Structure 1
Amino acid sequence: MRDQLRDLILPSKWEKGAGSRGNSRHLEIKETRIKYTGPGSADKDAASVRADLHVPPSLPLYYFEVEVVSKGREGYIGLGFCTADVNMDRLPGWEPQSYGYHGDDGNAFRSDGKGRKYGPQFETGDFVGACLNRADKTISYYKNGIDLGVAFHNVQEERLYPCIGMQTHDEEVIANFGQGHDGLRFRASVDAMRREAAQRMERSIKRVALPNQGRVGSLMGELIFGFMVHHAYWETAAAVARDMLAGTVHVQPKDIQEVKLRKTITDDVVAGNVAEAIQLADTLAPGMLAANPSLTFRLHLQTFFELVRARDDMGAISFGTDILKRAVKSRDDQELLMDALSLMGYTDATKAPCGQMMGQQARDDLARDIMSAIRSHTGRQQYSPLEKAYVQLIGVLRALEERGSPHLGLLGYMDLDNLLN
């Protein structure tokens, strides 16, 4: 739990990493301020430092910025990201799993000492920022608020720390990890970075080819029409058919009649009129009860409960002997029957150990299950296509959340209306 909480906290200051073999003595560190005080005569004198915490892996975009208080003698200042086990006696980008943009030559370095031309040099008074984009797996840099473009692609390391390195005397910077220093804000707009990243994700999603047309017209129109019919919103379904599907589909009278029958069956079970429900179920879905003996037993069992509820002891005994016992088809049915028969020994059956079998929830559950069986037997779907798509979407979002996907953090910056059009 402590590690999980730590992953949610942002870096706030510099601290000497464990990877230094001695050159850290050349650095004077005061929270977010760092100054090089060593000899600075060669590469062997370089010293780096990293932030106190790594960037949270689930954060879609992280930006930090440094003010170059002094470029010192040569301006050998490198800014970037590294893992926890990098050799800190080297400038960022010179060691495996480290990335750096250097102020003396404007070169970008990734995991070795061979840099490539990237951006301008930076001087005393400049503000230089580094952006780690987890969604795009890139690192970009900014100088005085101006985007210098992507420096590194395919950045895969899970835990990266902001880092900075120096090499010549009197080089000094002050960092802004997001809280601001001396009341200053970032020179670059982090909100703009997030919006641009969200727009790139939108474009990527929209490049996935989806059918614009359904079987008879607008795919979205068909999904909405199917949902309305499925849930018996007849007037709305008719309006969707007219306005979104140009009258190419219609609400069918047989569908209306079927839904009315299903609702009547549900109402009968909920009200305790089980015999009527069984008769209508046979009419609407012939053969369904024969194909579901366990459900048939439960319906008969509910009839027994209703007789007990009405205090018709003779009727309950007769029904239990003539019909209920013959309906038993499994061990589970037998156990339910024994529990049901025990209710006869109580003046108030609802007070029995299995008295919940007499409750309204048992009726509601039975009504739900008989509806499910009827839909299955008649080839009707339990859920409309629109509901299935929604469930799948929720499943995807939960999976992304469990994996700590950085893409989730960009959803608030996306134009979802534009994405659906």
Structure 2
Amino acid sequence: MTEVEENQDLVGSYFMELWRIKSKRREATSLDENDVVEMMNLDKKEEDLLLDLYSDEPELEPSELDTLKSSSGFAIVLPDKVSVKYPRVNLHGHDVGVVQANHPAPVKRLVYYFEITVKNAGAKGQISIGFTPNDVNLNRQPGWEANTYGYHGDDGLLYRGQGRGEAFGPTYTVGDTVGAGINYALQKIFFTKNGQMVGFFIDNTVKDRLYPTVGVHSLNEEVTVNFGKTQFMFDLITYEATERAKIHAYIEKIIIPPTASYGVVRSYLQHYGYTETLEVFDQATQESVPPITGFHDNGFNEHMYKVEDRKNLRKLIKDGQINDAFGILRKLYPHIVQDDTSAICVMLYCQEFIELVRVGHLEEAVRYGRTHFQKFNSLKKYENLVQDCAALLAYQEPEKSAVGYLLEDSHRENVADAVNAMILSTNPNLQDKTSCLHSYLERLLKQLTACFLEKRLLNGDQGETFNLKRLLLSKNTQHN
């Protein structure tokens, strides 16, 4: 196999795997992302892609109190499952009623927070709020045991891992609303009272999955927990925005030369053949004050290779004109499509079938599938993907079905990206054989994502990952 053929095999396999990962998403939405990676036996490159896809998958969140665990009858969870009461006279210091939430606090975010409202302070007001691990002793107040944290109402003390408290905040009693939160970016646990911040502490050992926890300890004490079903008294949205703004302010202090940022953006336009936008971009950089210069000769120009051909093919594929795209490839790049069972050919044949289904030409789609899909019957590596395409015929509204992802514009985009990369891979001056897969801008974003993932890993797999969509949406919200 020649070097060019090796590059083309790499490109085809890469984009077929992107398709396969998207297909697998619907089968694995209930699994943890690490389980999915293991199940699919992905390498590091493919794992990063999957993590990008799964970055917005929701975690199970606390929604009610756990009614299965027992604290020897010292705490009774009421029928609403968000209220807890102490029903008896306590005789000993260990006659504590502790109740955890039904799920641990979700960790793949910036902040988790919940609140309690004191309905009855009981005989002594020995109420507490905090966080505890799964194996906590339910007859010990939050903060009295190792790896537990609690803010106590009767004395206003903070307890963290020992029976001895430390001065922290005011006491709280009937009618007060008290909250507890974890800032995962800073490993900071904080508490609030009646919507105002009481205080926080930083503990870099907060690595366990922690459960929101409430403790009661004297006759008739009763609290109700709010896991977010109703609006919090504390302004959590503003708090999160402020914390993110601090992070962004730190990042924005890092000076990046204009030539570097403009060069990276320019390489993206080159890589995907957006020539009209590239001309406007170049003109704008010359008209800026001062003009941005010096980025044309920084090694990015390899992405100008066959740019007009790539632009035309992208437009055809995004418009659904797959046969026309096939014709250009056979005429100008016959070596790319000479193997009728290569990954790029499979993608193009499947996309033409999808386009026929998209416009409702079902009989023609059946004939087309019979003609072109039979050559893939003996190729197990394509079997599931071809079956996904064929399954479109089984639904009256295929766009709403499990294989509806095939009809999304993003699927056309994946095919167009594959053809684009395949042509770039034929560049004899290509310095890095993988550079045809991504623009430098995308490599930068992937590196940024990897850094955030590594930071989260060092932080006990807690905190947000870099999410460009979320970042852009937050910027738009601020500007509006």
Instruction: Report the TM-score range of the alignment, normalised by the length of the smaller protein.
Output: 0.5 to 0.7
Q: TM-score, normalised by structure 1?
A: 0.62
- Determine the structure 1 residue equivalent to 2:226: 176
Residue 132 in structure 1 maps to residue 169 in structure 2: no
Residue 191 in structure 1 maps to residue 246 in structure 2: no
CA separation in 1, counterparts of 2:226 and 2:256? 47
CA separation in 1, counterparts of 2:330 and 2:467? 52
Paired AA for residue 220 in structure 1: S
Residue 115 in structure 1 maps to residue 188 in structure 2: no
CA separation in 1, counterparts of 2:330 and 2:143? 76
Q: Which has the higher contact order (CA 8 A, sep 6+)?
A: 2
CA separation in 2, counterparts of 1:7 and 1:264? 41
Aligned pairs for 1:65-144 (under 5 A) are 65-144=115-194
CA separation in 2, counterparts of 1:229 and 1:266? 10
The verdict on how the C-alpha distance between 1:266 and 1:192 changes in structure 2, with shifts beyond 3 A counting, is closer
Residue 375 in structure 1 maps to residue 429 in structure 2: yes
Q: CA RMSD of the aligned region, Å?
A: 4.8
* Residue in structure 1 matching 2:260, options 205, 219, 244: 219
Given that 2:121 and 2:220 are in contact with CA atoms closer than 8 Å, whether structure 1 keeps it comes out as yes
Residue 239 in structure 1 maps to residue 281 in structure 2: no
Q: TM-score, normalised by structure 2?
A: 0.55
Paired AA for residue 187 in structure 1: M
- Determine the structure 2 residue equivalent to 1:156: 206
Aligned pairs for 1:8-407 (under 5 A) are 8-15=59-66, 18=69, 20=71, 24-30=72-78, 31-154=81-204, 156-180=206-230, 185-206=231-252, 209=254, 211-213=255-257, 218-227=259-268, 231=273, 232=275, 233-234=278-279, 236-243=281-288, 246=291, 248-249=293-294, 270=328, 368-369=422-423, 372-376=426-430, 382=436, 385-393=440-448, 406-407=463-464
Shift in Å at residue 35 of structure 1? 1.6
CA separation in 1, counterparts of 2:432 and 2:93? 79
CA separation in 2, counterparts of 1:378 and 1:178? 50
Q: Which runs of 5+ in 1 are unaligned?
A: 278-294, 303-349, 355-360
Given that 1:18 and 1:85 are in contact with CA atoms closer than 8 Å, whether structure 2 keeps it comes out as no
The verdict on how the C-alpha distance between 1:43 and 1:409 changes in structure 2, with shifts beyond 3 A counting, is farther
Give the % identical residues.
Answer: 24
Instruction: Please list the CA deviations of residues 255-291 of structure 1 after superposition, one character each: whole Å capped at 9, or x if unmatched.
Output: 99x9688758999x947667xx9xxxxxxxxxxxxxx
Paired AA for residue 77 in structure 2: I
Instruction: Please list the CA deviations of residues 218-274 of structure 1 after superposition, one character each: whole Å capped at 9, or x if unmatched.
Output: 43234344555665534542432342662644979xx99x9688758999x947667
CA separation in 2, counterparts of 1:25 and 1:351? 66
CA separation in 2, counterparts of 1:40 and 1:87? 17
The verdict on how the C-alpha distance between 1:197 and 1:264 changes in structure 2, with shifts beyond 3 A counting, is closer
The verdict on how the C-alpha distance between 1:43 and 1:395 changes in structure 2, with shifts beyond 3 A counting, is closer
Q: Which runs of 5+ in 2 are unaligned?
A: 1-27, 34-56, 313-326, 340-371, 377-414
Shift in Å at residue 86 of structure 1? 0.7
